[in-house]
Homo-oligomer: A and B are copies of this chain.
Amino acid sequence: MARTSSHATGLRVQLPPLCFLFQAAIIILFSFFVRYNHETDSSLWHRSNHSDMDNDFYFRYPSFQDVHTMIFIGFGFLMTFLQRYGFSSIGFNFLLSAFSLQWSTLVQGFFHSFHGGKIYIGVESMINADFCTGAVLISFGAVLGKTSPVQLLLMSLLEVTLFGVNEFILLNLLGVKDAGGSMTIHTFGAYFGLVLSRVLYRSHLDKSKHREGSVYHSDLFAMIGTIFLWIFWPSFNSAPTNTGDGQHRTALNTYYSLGASTLSTFALSALLSREGKLDMVHIQNAALAGGVVVGTSGEMMITPFGALMAGFLAGIISTLGYKFLMPILESKFKVQDTCGVHNLHGMPGVLGALLGALVAGLATHQTYGDGLKSVFPLIAEGHRNATSQAVYQLFGLFVTLVLASLGGGIGGPS
């Protein structure tokens, strides 16, 4: 899939030992540390007197499969809009994901489910592993075409690790809510990738800009990616939230937010067009911003009206980003954001984090009822008031931006 001779050599000489080394290390670490949890272990599950329907599998597996489709089909095909990188994007998307989901099982397991020296896994850890993989793929979108598969694997090794650190700080230490990952996935993945893209900047690549163009069939393949991401985003945001009304409400909010971001994207894209043609890159990307922007607040009581407003604004901001900010990023800041992840994941992710802080700050016992202990346990238990929860949410965004930027900066020379 690689084109240049140096790539070709790297592929044959460096990729195989690296893959074998990584896989061997993961297998050894699994043998020492990873065990079935009480819902996947035959002996542990049958020790208690459950109904089989109580198994978390039935609450989360359908949503997990939708997320899985987004990671492998959605991200993979979305990136084929660049005719030149069609194969590479699908193939490397596949390789990076297959590695990242294994490696993040270990990293996230050490941080979140390490008991008595063992990591216990089930469908919830599979969802989290796929989520972390999503962040890696966002970064991949920022550097597509500028890195070899070997560099991408090393990037994944670093990013998955830092993702786990950042997520641990936010969710466990700061008590921040971020079920759909506006911060931990989208903001983190985008700024990690953008800083890395800046570090990897080579001026001569600038000249090949015209080769970035898309063509007819590439656009149809990319639409496969776009639409699978769009339809399954309600499952993405709701997969890890509280069962019952939590998953239900999150899916509903995301559904309407995406509807509104699609309309505002079409409208603005048509308005800004010179030749009276819709720009397919806007449609393929900015229409998805509605899913990103409710990543933090989707499980909260933002109201259907709030979900529509959030999506509407996200579509506007994302489309403006593609039209006006992206050229500036490249010319002034030397950041070549191949897939425009700043517009789809970066800005809407930050906006989603701010929205989450706002909605958290407005939380009351009256609005949430007894569900407050599910959505904001620290408020329900009296450890915090809503305002301080909002401040923690903002601090979580700050930590994410710092760690992502540091990570991308370190990742460059490696």
The majority secondary structure among interface residues of chain A is helix
Q: Give the oligomeric copy count.
A: 3
Interface string of A244-272 (1 = CB under 8 A from B): 11111101100110111011101110110
Residue A147 at the chain B interface, CB threshold 8 Å: no
Give Cα A234 to B10, complex, Å: 33
Would A220 and B80 be within 8 Å (CB), given that A102-B256, A227-B73, A369-B47 are in contact?
yes
Q: B34 contacts A258, CB within 8 Å?
A: no
Q: State how many angstroms separate the Cβ of A56 from the closest Cβ of chain B.
A: 7
Interface string of A332-366 (1 = CB under 8 A from B): 00000000000000000000000000000000001
B residues less than 8 Å from A16 (CB atoms): 267-268, 270-271
Residue A201 at the chain B interface, CB threshold 8 Å: no
Q: A102 contacts B308, CB within 8 Å?
A: yes
Q: State how many angstroms separate the Cβ of A300 from the closest Cβ of chain B.
A: 9
Interface string of A226-243 (1 = CB under 8 A from B): 011011101100000001
Give Cα A370 to B278, complex, Å: 55
Which residue in chain B gives the minimum CB-CB distance to A228?
B73
Residue in contact with A72 in the complex, picked from B66, B73, B123, B231, CB distance below 8 Å: B231
Residue in contact with A8 in the complex, picked from B228, B255, B267, B277, CB distance below 8 Å: B277
Q: Please choose the segment from A91-99, A172-180, A387-395 that sits at the chain B interface, where 4 or more of its residues have CB less than 8 A away.
A: A91-99
Residue in contact with A45 in the complex, picked from B5, B8, B371, CB distance below 8 Å: B371
Q: Please choose the segment from A17-25, A137-145, A158-166, A189-197 that sits at the chain B interface, where 4 or more of its residues have CB less than 8 A away.
A: A17-25
B residues less than 8 Å from A8 (CB atoms): 275-277
Q: A304 contacts B34, CB within 8 Å?
A: yes
Q: Please choose the segment from A35-43, A204-212, A397-405 that sits at the chain B interface, where 4 or more of its residues have CB less than 8 A away.
A: A35-43
Give Cα A2 to B235, complex, Å: 33
- Chain A residues with a Cβ closer than 8 Å to the other chain, count: 129
Question: Which residue, of A52, A221, A235, has the highest number of chain B Cβ atoms within 10 A?
Answer: A52
Would A98 and B249 be within 8 Å (CB), given that A7-B276, A9-B276 are in contact?
no
B residues less than 8 Å from A278 (CB atoms): 1, 11, 91
Residue A305 at the chain B interface, CB threshold 8 Å: yes
Question: Which residue, of A9, A19, A123, A367, has the highest number of chain B Cβ atoms within 10 A?
Answer: A19
B residues less than 8 Å from A18 (CB atoms): 267
Question: Which residue, of A36, A223, A287, has the highest number of chain B Cβ atoms within 10 A?
Answer: A223
Q: A52 contacts B244, CB within 8 Å?
A: yes
Residue A50 at the chain B interface, CB threshold 8 Å: yes
Would A53 and B46 be within 8 Å (CB), given that A11-B278, A72-B231, A270-B16 are in contact?
no
Interface string of A373-400 (1 = CB under 8 A from B): 0110000000000000000000000000
B residues less than 8 Å from A199 (CB atoms): none
B residues less than 8 Å from A244 (CB atoms): 45, 50, 52, 55, 57
Give Cα A102 to B16, complex, Å: 45
Which residue in chain B gives the minimum CB-CB distance to A52?
B244
Residue A69 at the chain B interface, CB threshold 8 Å: yes
Residue A301 at the chain B interface, CB threshold 8 Å: yes
Residue in contact with A65 in the complex, picked from B68, B232, B249, B303, CB distance below 8 Å: B232
Give Cα A243 to B52, complex, Å: 6
Residue A372 at the chain B interface, CB threshold 8 Å: yes
